[in-house]
Amino acid sequence: MVDPVLASRLQFAWTTAIHIIFPTLSMGLAPFLVYWTWKEVRGDGEVYARLRRFWAKIFALTFVSGTVTGIVLEFEFGTNFAAYSSIVGGIFGGPLATEGLMAFMLESTMLGIFLFGRDRVSDRMYLVSAFLVGLGSWLSAVWILIANAWMQTPAGFEMGTRAGEEVAVITDPVAAYLTPRFFYMFTHMQTAAVLSAALFIAGIASYKLLTTDDRSAFWKKTMKVALIAMIITAPLLAVQGDAYGRHVHETQESKMAAIEAIWDTEAYAPLHLVAVPTSTDNVVAPAEEDLFTIGIPWVGSMLAGAGDPATVITGFEDIEHDLPPYLLVFYSFRAMVGLGFWFIFLALWGVYRWRQGDLFDDTLLQKAMVASTGLGVLAVEFGWMVTEIGRQPWAVQDVLLVSDGVSPGLTGGEATLTLVGFIFAYTALLSIWAYLVFRIVRTGPEPPSDGTAPTTTDGGAEVPAK
């Protein structure tokens, strides 16, 4: 039997970690689908209709899995974090309700048309539906990140009362919802989503190039558009991440200290490359004397202060509350950044080969791409661990502790039961999703029509088969 607070934290962490895979991919795939639909509707060749149909199958599976796991997250605030919901619901609930009304409604209704309505609506309406599905998925991220950014850098409220209980009352919606953190988060997350989808697409295309004789326009076009997305997003992500990191330094001392594993408040702080606990007492958050580190002098401060080594980084010694499990944050951050550099390298490698004219002959590159299929999503997972674990022990930074947000009547038995249930159910869901995606990939896209059954586009124009 796990303690209800710990079980609730683990359950939320687990359900979020699985859920985030799906929206990351669907948000990232959306622009590709809009592009292919646009080319299809313009009549630029049957291959685009096949591209759209093939990737829409994967998109549909992903979207559905994201929907069902997303409802769980919304409801978990009520089931497991009832005190949190009561206290900050007047602020935090607003963006969630708005997400449903403004974004999710748009996305899921238009998805019905996009997936099933090709022959029922006009070409123009069909393209619009593709665009609105994508817009809806991005707006969803807007409201979820507005809510999350408020938890990181709360603003625009004061403590008041409702029905005799002390609760957070909104005083300035603009300050509460349009926090600087939101802009850093949103741009970073959306770029990461597109890059994750690009890696996913490139990995699948490379797999097909490696394992089949199919060198058709289908996989070549897939590969090239994914590479273009990678060469734009991978470096951009690093630039955004750097700015985001400086913002964290300015606004969330303990998260910054966790990212850098820094104990002493100091200027000329090092960038720790390695931090190893030397005692087994608390492996994820060891005491100062139990932490062995290797670092590069000055660089930590320079990163936090846009190149100025005199920048002071607050260490754990000056932080009054409990420490986050900071080695998880420390290594998640390094894993994310490490993967980010790998993606930049991979994008440069691919583009270099493309320019050389032998993009489709470099099997080593293709193998690297296959190996990287899921790494974008993995990097997003690490990023979210930095964001969410780095905020611990707070649910709302410096306002509400996670332990004070858990449902008061929740028993360890109930919480453990549902935690175990979710571990099984989500493992099954993710496995089936992965199996079905792989099955779609192995089967491959439908073959091009051989010309005897011409594909018609709007207006009855015939498109010659490839």
Which residues, 341 to 370, sit near other proteins by CB under 8 A?
none
Q: In the complex, what is the shortest distance from the CB of residue 99 to other proteins, in angstroms, rounded to a whole number?
A: 7
Task: Note whether 427 binds other proteins by CB under 8 A.
Answer: no
Task: Note whether 135 binds other proteins by CB under 8 A.
Answer: no
**6 vs 419: CA distance, rounded Å:** 10
Task: Note whether 438 binds other proteins by CB under 8 A.
Answer: no
Task: Note whether 431 binds other proteins by CB under 8 A.
Answer: no
**142 vs 190: CA distance, rounded Å:** 10
Nearer to other proteins, 172 or 322 (CB): 172
What are the φ/ψ torsions at residue 306 (nearest 5 degrees)? 55, 45
Tokens read off for 194: 């597109």
Nearer to other proteins, 40 or 362 (CB): 40
Q: How many residues bind other proteins (CB under 8 A)?
A: 82
Nearer to other proteins, 219 or 422 (CB): 422
Tokens read off for 404: 């004070």
Nearer to other proteins, 111 or 359 (CB): 111
Contact 134, 30 (CB under 8 A): yes
**372 vs 209: CA distance, rounded Å:** 15
Q: In the complex, what is the shortest distance from the CB of residue 47 to other proteins, in angstroms, rounded to a whole number?
A: 17
Contact 33, 135 (CB under 8 A): no
Q: Which of 3, 42, 101, 371 binds other proteins (CB under 8 A)?
A: 101
Other beta carbons within 10 angstroms of residue 435's beta carbon come to: 10
Contact 148, 189 (CB under 8 A): no
**407 vs 414: CA distance, rounded Å:** 11
Task: Note whether 432 binds other proteins by CB under 8 A.
Answer: yes
Q: In the complex, what is the shortest distance from the CB of residue 455 to other proteins, in angstroms, rounded to a whole number?
A: 15
Planar angle of CA 428, 432, 437, nearest 5 degrees:
150
What is the enclosing helix (H) or strand (E) of 112? helix 105-116
Nearer to other proteins, 90 or 295 (CB): 90
Nearer to other proteins, 156 or 295 (CB): 156
Nearer to other proteins, 65 or 240 (CB): 65
Name every residue whose Cβ is closer than 8 Å to that of residue 161 and which is 6 or more positions away in sequence.
167
Nearer to other proteins, 79 or 251 (CB): 79
Which residues, 18 to 57, sit near other proteins by CB under 8 A?
53, 56-57
Name every residue whose Cβ is closer than 8 Å to that of residue 59 and which is 6 or more positions away in sequence.
26, 29, 30, 33
Tokens read off for 457: 């586009």
Nearer to other proteins, 165 or 214 (CB): 165
Nearer to other proteins, 100 or 448 (CB): 100
Task: Note whether 295 binds other proteins by CB under 8 A.
Answer: no
Q: Which of 43, 117, 277, 309 binds other proteins (CB under 8 A)?
A: 117
Task: Note whether 108 binds other proteins by CB under 8 A.
Answer: yes
Binding mask 172-211 for other proteins (x = CB under 8 A): xxxx------------------------------------
Residue 206: closest CA among 375, 57, 349, 360: 360
Task: Note whether 429 binds other proteins by CB under 8 A.
Answer: yes
Three-class DSSP category at 286: coil
Which residues, 391 to 410, sit near other proteins by CB under 8 A?
407-410
Q: In the complex, what is the shortest distance from the CB of residue 66 to other proteins, in angstroms, rounded to a whole number?
A: 10
Tokens read off for 392: 């611990």
Nearer to other proteins, 160 or 180 (CB): 160
Using CA atoms, how far residue 256 sits from 40, 185, 236, 261, in Å, is 47, 15, 22, 8
Q: In the complex, what is the shortest distance from the CB of residue 291 to other proteins, in angstroms, rounded to a whole number?
A: 38
Q: In the complex, what is the shortest distance from the CB of residue 14 to other proteins, in angstroms, rounded to a whole number?
A: 14
**198 vs 192: CA distance, rounded Å:** 10
Which residues, 54 to 73, sit near other proteins by CB under 8 A?
56-57, 60-61, 63-65, 67-72
Task: Note whether 430 binds other proteins by CB under 8 A.
Answer: no
Three-class DSSP category at 328: helix
Q: In the complex, what is the shortest distance from the CB of residue 296 to other proteins, in angstroms, rounded to a whole number?
A: 44
Residue 252: closest CA among 154, 383, 385: 154
Task: Note whether 90 binds other proteins by CB under 8 A.
Answer: yes
Task: Note whether 83 binds other proteins by CB under 8 A.
Answer: yes
Tokens read off for 28: 């990232």
Task: Note whether 283 binds other proteins by CB under 8 A.
Answer: no
